[in-house]
Structure 1
Amino acid sequence: MKATAALFLFSALVTGLHAQGTKADYDRAKELGGKARSLVTDSTPRVTWTDTGTAFARTRDKVIAIDLATGKTRAATKEEADQAKIVTKNVPVLPFGRARSRDSSDQQPLEIRNETNETIGINWIDSRGESKSYGTIDPGKSATQSTYSGHVWSITDREGKPFAMVRTPDYPGVVRITGRPAEASPRERRSERRSTSGRVSPDGKTEAYVQGGNTLVIRPLPDGTPANATVLSPGERFDNETDWSPDSTRFVISSAKDVSVRQVTLVQSSPKDQLQPKVEKIDYVKPGDPIRQPFPRLYDAAAKKEIPVDHALFPNPWEIKELTWAADSSEFMFVYNQRGHQLMRILGVNAKDGKVRVIHEDKTDTFIDYSQKFYFRHLPETKEILWMSERDGWNHLYLIDTANGRIKNQITRGQWNVREIVDVDATKRTILFKALGTIPGQDPYYTHFARVNFDGSGLMRLTESNGDHRITFSPDQKHLIDTWSRMDQPPVTELRNAETGKLVCELGRGDDSALQKTGWSRAEPLSAKGRDGKTDIYGVLIKPSNFDPAKKYPVIENIYSGPHDFFVPKPYHAWTRMNDLAELGFIVVQIDGMGTNWRSKTFHDVAWKNLADAGLPDHIAWIKTAAATRPWMDLSRVGIYGGSAGGQNSLSAMLHHGDFYKACVSDCGCHDNRMDKIWWNEAWMGWPVDESYTRNSNVTDAAKLQGKLMLVVGELDHNVDPASTLQVANALQKADKDFELLIITGADHGAAETPYGSRRRADFFVRNLLGVEPRVN
């Protein structure tokens, strides 16, 4: 009897195991994924604001009236409901100049009406000031652009001549194009020039421009004789933009020596329009390569001569930016980011003699996170600078006196981070910003909004509920709509007082009960201690919709540990690509370990010259902690996958933690940081290129491979040189290691996310972790 019982138990386990990864699982994943979002009721209302003290919130099935003073709600009358349809308001036009889009997650529609008799062009101005076409609108027609508050749009004619430039507001807006802008008066033109850089001085009397790239010409207006101020030597050229002093006596223009730019060759094996392959060469600068380094040059406009500026305090720039003038034209200043990203200075240059002084500097032994945690705003009227820094170990704001370079005060402080500046009111001396980690007990990655005074007083949090937040303001800025959610909580929408942060009322709450009836369950956010036994590490766990706690499930980790951000999803998602994989019979997890961004500086610094670490010791500790109370997680069968930096991370897991991870799909990985793009890799690995690049290379350690591996790459990857993957393959072959190599023809970066690539990735895990042959064709 005992032997029979044991045989029966073994058969039941095998049957339960092999019931996973079948064609039915693939079909269910496709079907449920396709309808998951439609089974969630979105109760996020659209709000119509009035001038009567009452607002109206419209959802799919009702309209409520809200008394903004008391927060009391009632059902709207039929007449009110008819009036509460979303009303767009006219959007004020910006002066043409250097307006750029601000980052925002607050989606708003922008209607553009062409009331002219000619076709107009719609162009988005990105955060770098670059224009990208979004099509045209015929005469008499209109189009609604899906965009975000703070994004800038330029409307032009077919030849690119401007009609209008607008910034998307925090409410549904309309732009009416009725004709060409009126010719500005001389006074208006001078005012506009004062607020922008360009070839003409603010007073309109002098023009400075570049000819042929290497000759600077200065001439009086309206019809003065041009004079060459400077002719550069061969191999050096000017930038075309001049920055004038407010009094029009001086200007700054940069010049740089040209450098040879590395090119990467891509081969398109199967072009659609011809039989023979196509070869494409792209400019692709890699770590350690020479870079073009512009240096500012100061000129006396009247004397038509250069005032020499000493480069001793900025000898090796990665970047020189944020050039701005003092209100009295006595000095210009700029931010110097030294190559290697361990020194950043605010420098001031005397306009009379070119002498340079240090106004402020930040230094570190690791890296300054210039690409994610940079904010500089010069306030010339008050001789102050708003500055962002991690100098105390957390990302905070500082107010600097430009006269003496002293920090007047630290504006924000504490063991939390300022994520982004949303708005600065220089008159009221207040700052609206996004913050992370401000509420103890909540996930420190949840975005909250707060306001603070320049002097650090009056810190007021405008959001508080336990989740990730996004807000939009009423047109009068007195109220805000706060929508928050978590991976385990559908969106909740609240109306709050924008001046006090006080809750006025709840407006709506999402409902996913219909989706749960299918067997689907919400993703489970979890925290556990990391490698040091003290630091909280946050992640998420996803189960299949036919989950059975009596079964054993292999675990698959989705990894991306790039130091530029965190990556575990925080807002509510009914379905992600991780759900697609879970449906086949897996528990899928994603974790943010040490070395990723937006915790303390110490947490982040783990990545310094150490990308092979990838936070993996923290990930393993998290998975083991989760499995300790979840016996259905089978840690003898753990897989891992990722793309790009995640491709590097996932293979690193196999090479350095092969006792834990048994199967890996690595897609388009930057496996050797010397092979990848310059900015991202020098940001975390430093400059000059040293032995740490070799030490962190997956090519170096390829011979350590254990377990099953699939390498995936697109033959037309413009982001990461495809040779990076093939060099790993070469090293594995030399080490006589078995692995699979999947080259996806015609694919760019993220080849494993193509339909074919993702199906092959799923098949790989079904075969190697479930032990069954997938049947999907």
Structure 2
Amino acid sequence: MESRYRTAEQLLGHNRPALVRGGKVRPVWRNGTFWYRSDGRFLRVDPARGVQEPAFDHERLAAALGVEPGALPFGAITLEDGAVVFDVGGTRLRCALGTYTLTEIGRAPGPVDAVSPDGRHAVFRKGHDLWLRELATGAESPLTADGTAEQPYGTNADSGSARTLARRLGLPYLPPVVSWSPDSRRVLTHRMDERGVKLMHLVESAPADGGRPVLHTYRYALPGDAILPRAEMTVLDVETGTAVPAKAEPLLAPYVSPITLRRAWWARDGSAAYYLEQTRDYRTLTLRSVDPETGEVRTLAEESGPTRVEPVQNVACPPIVKVIPEGVVWFSQRDGFGHLYLHGERTVQLTRGEWNVQEILHADSSGVFFVAAGLVEDDPYRRQVCKVALDGTGFTRITDDDLDHAVSVADDGSCFLDSASTVDVPPVITVRGWDGRILVEVSRADVSGLLATGWQAPERVKVTAADGVTEVYGVLYRPHDFDPAQRYPVLDHPYPGPQVGRVEPGFGQGQLGYDAEAMAALGFAVLALDGRGTPGRDKAFHDASYGALGNGGHLDDHVAALRQLAETRPWLDLDRVGVFGRSGGGFAAVRAMLQYPDVFTVGVADCGNHDQRLYHSIWGESYGGPFDPETYAHWDNGELADRLQGKLLLVHGELDDNVTPHLTMRLAGRLIAANKDFDLLIVPGAEHGFVGFDDYVIRRRWDFLVRHLLGAEPPAGYRLAPIPFDPELLAG
């Protein structure tokens, strides 16, 4: 069993780059070219010339720094004309590429600085206000002076500020919530107003100083609360030091701000800022513009509907809205599918059909370039790049294969980086023009390291939902050393949404996929499924979650899928079915065991939001509907506590300031009252992501499922290596 644990550990997300070479490119665009980091080296791609080359001479730069070529002490660069700029040890250096001489040009920005596009300034928080630092000299000056504890500048709401994570990382706070104008002259931010928002409490039982337990109190709005956090949009002029508040009522921001969600942005020329505003019931969406000189606010577009009206179904994606001289390109699901409309002199529907727009890539007088899903017959989630003219004619698929296309657009709109793959086809990454022509091939993923672990590509599966009509899709992971003559225990790994989906259409599947692959290495068959109510399909499919959060992303679809798959795959042992998940997946894991105790016999639930009445107001009210005590009571796992029959492990961090630990403790209380046996792990000092503790939590999850579902004894004393924190998560 120990060898299986070692293999499973190799497959976790932080180890993935060592197994898949060239599978991901994170471009930094500038003037239609970009650079990126791969295997410790920096490469520059010039699509116009069709060239990919080293961004600089790594050996000469290493010699100038006095280090080995493979040990450059920085992870990011900025390319200038004839020079490369980077930070080492708190100092910003410029290296002239002709002579490879180094010059100190100022102080490096810190991890909680928001740096201007021109690299000259950084905005940071001091107390409850925002300050400006000139990086060349270190000179600091205030941008605001009237912030208070209840009305601070540049923050998300208390409940969305990840305070525990910041403390775990030794930071005073996470980066400020600001958006720089493209010309680096101004900053869009807001003043948060949390006066009257009710308090939430966490107890740190074992503080680092060894003293008494510490009480952490912050503001946290629940469904039905009378007062929610609000944000007053404000423009700060860094040259004059003036603040220009938007001349509009503050907008609701009960969790994170529109800036954090990328629902506030600047015009390309900096002449205006835009933001999207939603009503409390999420049934009206409005686009507004702010004049940065005067603060005057105009309404540019608005839409209302009988359920939530969204600028995009997946909250992790940017809004599908674009302001161009001809009007506003606007995403709407008014005809049942997600399509584009141009609101100008008149309203024109630009796209139509039984498919959905997923993202606007670029728009100008020649038309709108966008990503759409539902155009590939075999898989409605695979994305294609398309174009349509501003009068709704000339619809064209720019990518016309059956692969999934993940896209990054050049900063000048001249071309796009395209990663083409499927669940079982590794990525080929190219730069394409808007005619679909490949300008330069950047990378082809090498999965030989992945295959050497015994990994097998997951199988894309399609089944019929529990309604007997709707097609739903997922991926099925075979256990390592698979033998179709054997029978294997099955794990369902749900995430119910409705704000994000569980399964990604391309290769890799993200962190949730890596967790599933690790389980397959331990000897389980693993199913991941997007049931009804999850995003990425038509309006009715997504609305299956509205007013029905208690169904956990339609767990009845998961049960139906398991039974259908087992009909043609007798190696799936439905007498041994378990379930595990985190956060919303933790809620779903417990819900599965309580609603279907005859199906799911073993489960692990990490930091589950087990009672929607006591979780974020934005969660229940936007995805489930306005607060109604009777309806919300049905979304409490504790109501079904007496139905537990199998083996259940509940895990929670005691300082989880997102899904607060009292949600698990209340469920535990109901299980005790029902005289049920279960296991409980409360992790002292841990927040929602278990940063610094995730290696231990993962190992405990593995042990529990191996022991109770696989019927094997975990390796004694096995310890996962500490899992490094990804600093990119600091940016949200």
Q: When the two structures are superposed, what TM-score results if normalisation uses the length of structure 1?
A: 0.65
Write out aligned runs for 1:26-41 (5 A): 26-30=5-9, 38-41=18-21
Candidates 683, 686, 700, aligned match of 1:760 = 700
Counterpart residue identity of residue 283, structure 1: R
Candidates 368, 373, 388, aligned match of 2:331 = 388
- The secondary structure found in structure 2 opposite 1:765 is helix
* Match of residue 549 from structure 2: 611
- The secondary structure found in structure 1 opposite 2:612 is coil
Describe the shift of the 1:564–1:47 C-alpha distance in structure 2 as closer, same or farther (beyond 3 A).
closer
Write out aligned runs for 1:427-576 (5 A): 428-441=365-378, 443-471=379-407, 480-494=416-430, 496=432, 498-502=433-437, 509-513=444-448, 515-516=450-451, 518-573=453-508, 576=514
Kept in 1: contact 2:78–2:86 (CA 8 A):
no
Kept in 2: contact 1:120–1:138 (CA 8 A):
no
Counterpart residue identity of residue 594, structure 1: R
- The secondary structure found in structure 2 opposite 1:607 is coil
Query: RCO greater where, 1 or 2, for CA within 8 Å and sep 6 or more?
Result: 2
* Match of residue 400 from structure 1: 343
Cα offset, 1:211, TM superposition: 7.5
Candidates 515, 522, 530, aligned match of 1:577 = 515
Kept in 1: contact 2:285–2:310 (CA 8 A):
no
Candidates 493, 510, 532, aligned match of 1:594 = 532
Cα offset, 1:646, TM superposition: 0.7
Candidates 627, 636, 641, aligned match of 1:702 = 641
Describe the shift of the 1:527–1:274 C-alpha distance in structure 2 as closer, same or farther (beyond 3 A).
same
CA distance in 2: counterparts of 1:684 and 1:756, whole angstroms: 33
Write out aligned runs for 1:188-207 (5 A): none
Cα offset, 1:653, TM superposition: 0.6
- What percentage of residue pairs aligned between the two structures are identical? 32
Describe the shift of the 1:675–1:500 C-alpha distance in structure 2 as closer, same or farther (beyond 3 A).
same
Kept in 1: contact 2:92–2:107 (CA 8 A):
no
Cα offset, 1:46, TM superposition: 11
Write out aligned runs for 1:315-334 (5 A): none
CA distance in 1: counterparts of 2:452 and 2:266, whole angstroms: 60
Describe the shift of the 1:494–1:255 C-alpha distance in structure 2 as closer, same or farther (beyond 3 A).
closer
Describe the shift of the 1:153–1:369 C-alpha distance in structure 2 as closer, same or farther (beyond 3 A).
farther
Kept in 1: contact 2:479–2:524 (CA 8 A):
yes
Cα offset, 1:671, TM superposition: 0.7
2:661 equivalent to 1:722: yes
Describe the shift of the 1:764–1:138 C-alpha distance in structure 2 as closer, same or farther (beyond 3 A).
farther
- The secondary structure found in structure 1 opposite 2:328 is strand
* Match of residue 196 from structure 2: 260
Kept in 2: contact 1:431–1:451 (CA 8 A):
yes
Cα offset, 1:474, TM superposition: 7.2
2:104 equivalent to 1:139: yes
2:220 equivalent to 1:284: yes
Kept in 1: contact 2:231–2:252 (CA 8 A):
no
Write out aligned runs for 1:14-163 (5 A): 22-30=1-9, 38-42=18-22, 85-87=53-55, 110-111=78-79, 139-140=104-105, 154-156=119-121, 161=132
Counterpart residue identity of residue 492, structure 1: V
Cα offset, 1:661, TM superposition: 1.0
1:164-206 CA distance string (max 9 Å, x none): 9xxxxxxxxxxxx8x999xxxxxxxxxxxxxxxxx9xxxxxxx
Kept in 2: contact 1:121–1:156 (CA 8 A):
no
Kept in 2: contact 1:642–1:649 (CA 8 A):
yes
Kept in 2: contact 1:715–1:722 (CA 8 A):
yes
Cα offset, 1:341, TM superposition: 1.0
- The secondary structure found in structure 2 opposite 1:702 is helix
Counterpart residue identity of residue 611, structure 1: L
Counterpart residue identity of residue 663, structure 2: S
- The secondary structure found in structure 2 opposite 1:525 is strand
Counterpart residue identity of residue 202, structure 2: L
Cα offset, 1:511, TM superposition: 3.9
Candidates 674, 682, 689, aligned match of 2:621 = 682
Report the number of matched residues: 595
CA distance in 2: counterparts of 1:272 and 1:552, whole angstroms: 48
Describe the shift of the 1:570–1:212 C-alpha distance in structure 2 as closer, same or farther (beyond 3 A).
closer
Kept in 2: contact 1:120–1:158 (CA 8 A):
no
Kept in 2: contact 1:44–1:59 (CA 8 A):
no
- The secondary structure found in structure 1 opposite 2:436 is coil
Describe the shift of the 1:506–1:310 C-alpha distance in structure 2 as closer, same or farther (beyond 3 A).
closer
Describe the shift of the 1:138–1:665 C-alpha distance in structure 2 as closer, same or farther (beyond 3 A).
farther
- The secondary structure found in structure 2 opposite 1:527 is strand
1:483-531 CA distance string (max 9 Å, x none): 21223111123454x1322457867543434643553311222222212
Cα offset, 1:111, TM superposition: 4.2
Write out aligned runs for 1:198-237 (5 A): none
Kept in 2: contact 1:115–1:141 (CA 8 A):
no
- The secondary structure found in structure 2 opposite 1:365 is coil
Candidates 617, 636, 646, aligned match of 2:585 = 646
1:539-598 CA distance string (max 9 Å, x none): 111123222222211000111111011121333239812222222221112111111111
Counterpart residue identity of residue 604, structure 1: H
1:193-226 CA distance string (max 9 Å, x none): xxxxxx9xxxxxxxxx99799xxxxxxxxxxxxx
Cα offset, 1:294, TM superposition: 6.8
Describe the shift of the 1:119–1:723 C-alpha distance in structure 2 as closer, same or farther (beyond 3 A).
closer
Cα offset, 1:420, TM superposition: 2.1
Candidates 341, 344, 349, aligned match of 1:410 = 349
CA distance in 2: counterparts of 1:67 and 1:152, whole angstroms: 22
- The secondary structure found in structure 2 opposite 1:731 is helix
CA distance in 2: counterparts of 1:660 and 1:585, whole angstroms: 19
Cα offset, 1:773, TM superposition: 3.2
CA distance in 1: counterparts of 2:25 and 2:668, whole angstroms: 53
Gaps of at least 5 residues in structure 1 are 1-21, 52-57, 72-82, 89-106, 123-136, 165-176, 182-198, 200-208, 214-240, 242-252, 298-308, 350-355
Larger Rg: 1
Gaps of at least 5 residues in structure 2 are 32-37, 57-74, 94-101, 125-130, 149-177, 179-188, 235-246, 291-296, 718-732
* Match of residue 132 from structure 1: none
Describe the shift of the 1:410–1:552 C-alpha distance in structure 2 as closer, same or farther (beyond 3 A).
same
1:420-479 CA distance string (max 9 Å, x none): 223333xx25323222223323x2222332233222223333323333323456798665
- The secondary structure found in structure 2 opposite 1:756 is helix
- The secondary structure found in structure 2 opposite 1:741 is strand
Cα offset, 1:120, TM superposition: 7.0
- The secondary structure found in structure 2 opposite 1:458 is coil
Counterpart residue identity of residue 673, structure 2: K
- The secondary structure found in structure 2 opposite 1:85 is strand
Describe the shift of the 1:156–1:630 C-alpha distance in structure 2 as closer, same or farther (beyond 3 A).
same
Moved more, 473-482 or 266-275: 473-482
Kept in 1: contact 2:285–2:304 (CA 8 A):
yes
Kept in 2: contact 1:644–1:750 (CA 8 A):
no
Describe the shift of the 1:457–1:284 C-alpha distance in structure 2 as closer, same or farther (beyond 3 A).
same
Kept in 1: contact 2:651–2:682 (CA 8 A):
yes
Kept in 2: contact 1:558–1:588 (CA 8 A):
yes
Cα offset, 1:664, TM superposition: 1.0
